[in-house]
């Protein structure tokens, strides 16, 4: 049903003695019960009229037959029971329809006193909604340019008559739905959303895949660091962040790497994981499935079933763990240029369905049992890897350490040992043996449309520094076992994120070598982390951290004058 045809809600009433009560509008007085029907009126009436006369004729015909054959009238067949039910339903509809229409015509002629009693029964505005003396939302929270037809829908959303999440499907206009939802939210909360942009965004592009019930979008500045010389290629890295000094610091690290001949990277593993949990009646039975899954002779048949989920999905292995009579199965597979969570989940479901025939007593508790492990710090990702496992290294020359990084090799090596290794160990760190890998990962992820929540495991990193060439030069490396990225799917198709991927030369899926774009993006993330680690550690060794943040991460504006 089109929400634009809904009647306008009654306006808030004045306090007693403040004026005349609000009477129903002509549009309200002319409203019929048929306006609430799911089908057009002529179709509904035709349906029930036809049903009434058809079943009436059938029952009369059966009645005559029973009389002629001396069959008791109270003995009913199934068809006669259905016919009687249909007859009663059609009678109830016809009486109810014409009866309600008559009552409504009577209501339209009632006295103002009756109208007052009717209006006060309507739902009130939320008590927390601040109104002026006339009971309306302050003008500053209302959009005076709202079209009249949108105004009716906004009031319907505010009252709860129209669910906010149905606006896109009802209106067929995502931008208009966002504007209506935004205005309704302002009136409901009595809070202004001024400053949150609405225009300039393609709301159709996020429908059904990126964000539900949008009311605008958040602006995050994007800076660039580089050129980053990685594997012989110069790259300019986009970083979306609101932290001052982050881009500048990463840029300095890129400069040091470039001046020293560049960095090199290696992909160690490439496989996304999903681990369902199933339950049996006994631990022995759970162990039987574990042995079956880990038997090399069964792998080929399981891979065929798993790989049906996608032409890019290739099952690599299954690792099982038992807790009592519960079995956790960690599937690992390649996913092409997609990050691959949906792809591997479909493959896992295929295998579970396949296993059900041989293990009918298997109770699938959940498609994910946290042995994956997604969006949580976990030792299994640190040890086994998830997504892309990457190591990136560079040799920074002594002269560059002194002139660009403003410190010396010995100081960096000592600080790395005491901070990133010993300090993290004392803190009980899980995959956090680094200075600030998550800073760079998050900034690159947001800029390129990755899932920011996967920054948790993607930032697992151990930073190593060692003096080489008789202590003159610095060998620095970052090892990151679980970088989870993709160049298709998710937010990678959005205009801004797609532009950043294009800047890196990894936009979309690779036609020549499926998966190469996502693997390259993973190495870029690792190379950027290497640059960020190098620069921050140098700033700490030289005592520059606080000074630089006070200079570049502080606003010079008088904030007190900007406060509302």
Instruction: Catalogue the active-site residues.
Output: 243, 375, 451, 549
CA distance 492 to 498: 6
Q: What is the DSSP string of 134-166?
A: TS---GGGS-TT--HHHHHHHHHHHHTSS-GGG
CA distance 564 to 560: 9
Report the relative pairing of strands 461-468 and 432-433 from DSSP bridges. parallel
- 164 is written with which tokens? 């906010």
CA distance 563 to 491: 34
CA distance 267 to 480: 10
- 503 is written with which tokens? 């800047």
- Sheet strands (E) in 54-94: none
Maximum Cα–Cα distance for the chain, whole Å? 118
- 52 is written with which tokens? 């009434």
- 501 is written with which tokens? 């991927």
Of the candidates 500, 495, 520, the one whose C-alpha atom is nearest the C-alpha of residue 509 is 520
CA angle 376, 381, 386 (to 5 degrees): 100
CA distance 449 to 459: 16
Tell me how crowded residue 292 is: count the other CB atoms within 10 A of its CB. Answer: 15
Of the candidates 172, 153, 173, the one whose C-alpha atom is nearest the C-alpha of residue 164 is 153
CA distance 508 to 265: 22
Cα distances from 261 to residues 258, 494, 531, in angstroms, run 5, 35, 13
Q: How many residues does the chain have?
A: 564
Q: How far is CA 121 from the centre of its chain?
A: 40
Beta bridge pairs of residue 183: none
Confirm if 409 and 398 have CB atoms less than 8 A apart: yes
CA distance 227 to 369: 42
Confirm if 497 and 521 have CB atoms less than 8 A apart: no
Query: DSSP code of 338?
Result: B
CA distance 47 to 481: 65
Confirm if 461 and 431 have CB atoms less than 8 A apart: yes
Report the relative pairing of strands 222-230 and 233-240 from DSSP bridges. antiparallel
Torsion of CA 531, 534, 535, 541, to 10 degrees: 180
């Amino acid at each position: 049903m089109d929400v634009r045809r809904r009647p306008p809600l009654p306006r808030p009433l004045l306090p007693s003695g403040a004026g005349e009560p609000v009477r129903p509008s002509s549009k309200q007085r002319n409203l019929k019960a048929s306006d609430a029907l799911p089908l057009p009126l002529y179709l509904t009436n035709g349906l029930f009229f036809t049903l009434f006369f058809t079943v009436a004729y059938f029952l009369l015909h059966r009645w005559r037959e029973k009389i002629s054959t001396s069959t008791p009238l109270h003995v009913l067949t199934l068809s006669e029971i259905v016919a009687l039910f249909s007859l009663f339903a059609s009678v109830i509809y016809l009486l109810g329809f014409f009866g309600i229409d008559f009552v409504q015509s009577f209501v339209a002629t009632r006295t103002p006193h009756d109208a007052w009693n009717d209006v006060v029964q309507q739902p009130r505005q939320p008590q927390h909604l601040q109104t002026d003396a006339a009971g309306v939302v302050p003008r500053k929270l209302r959009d005076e340019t709202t079209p009249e037809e949108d105004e009716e829908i906004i009031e319907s959303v505010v009252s709860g008559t129209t669910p906010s999440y149905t606006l896109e499907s009802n209106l067929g206009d995502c931008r208009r739905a966002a504007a209506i939802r935004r205005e309704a939210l302002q009136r409901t909360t009595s809070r202004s959303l001024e400053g949150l942009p609405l225009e300039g965004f393609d709301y159709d592009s996020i429908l059904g895949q990126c964000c539900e019930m949008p009311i605008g979008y958040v602006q995050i500045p994007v800076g660039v660091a580089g050129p980053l010389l990685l594997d012989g290629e110069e790259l300019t890295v986009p970083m979306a962040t609101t932290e001052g000094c982050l881009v500048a610091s990463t840029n300095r690290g890129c400069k040091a790497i470039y001046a020293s001949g560049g960095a090199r990277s290696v992909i160690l593993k490439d496989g996304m994981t999903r681990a369902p949990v199933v339950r049996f009646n006994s631990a022995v039975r759970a162990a039987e499935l574990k042995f079956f899954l880990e038997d090399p002779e069964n792998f080929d048949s399981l891979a065929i079933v798993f790989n049906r989920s996608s032409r890019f999905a290739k099952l690599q292995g299954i690792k099982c763990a038992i807790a009592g009579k519960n079995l956790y199965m960690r599937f690992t597979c390649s996913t092409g240029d997609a990050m691959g969570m949906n792809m591997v989940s479909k493959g896992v479901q295929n295998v579970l369905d396949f296993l059900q025939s041989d293990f009918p007593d298997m109770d699938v508790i959940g498609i994910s049992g946290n042995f994956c492990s997604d969006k949580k710090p976990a030792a299994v990702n640190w040890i086994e890897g998830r997504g892309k496992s990457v190591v990136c290294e560079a040799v920074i020359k002594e002269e560059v350490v002194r002139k660009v990084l403003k410190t010396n090799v010995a100081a960096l090596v000592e600080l790395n040992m005491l901070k990133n290794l010993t300090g993290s160990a004392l803190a009980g760190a899980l995959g956090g043996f680094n200075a600030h890998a998550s800073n760079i990962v998050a900034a690159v992820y947001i800029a390129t449309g990755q899932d920011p929540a996967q920054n948790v495991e993607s930032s697992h990193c151990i930073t190593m520094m060692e003096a080489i060439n008789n202590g003159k030069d610095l060998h620095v490396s970052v090892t990151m076992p679980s970088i989870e990225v993709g160049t298709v799917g998710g937010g990678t198709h959005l205009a801004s994120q797609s532009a950043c991927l294009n800047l890196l030369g990894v936009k979309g899926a690779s036609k020549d070598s499926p998966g190469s774009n996502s693997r390259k993006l993973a190495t870029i993330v690792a190379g950027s982390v290497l640059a960020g680690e190098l620069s921050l550690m140098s700033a700490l060794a030289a005592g520059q951290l606080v000074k630089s943040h006070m200079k570049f991460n502080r606003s010079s504006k008088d904030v007190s004058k900007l406060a509302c």
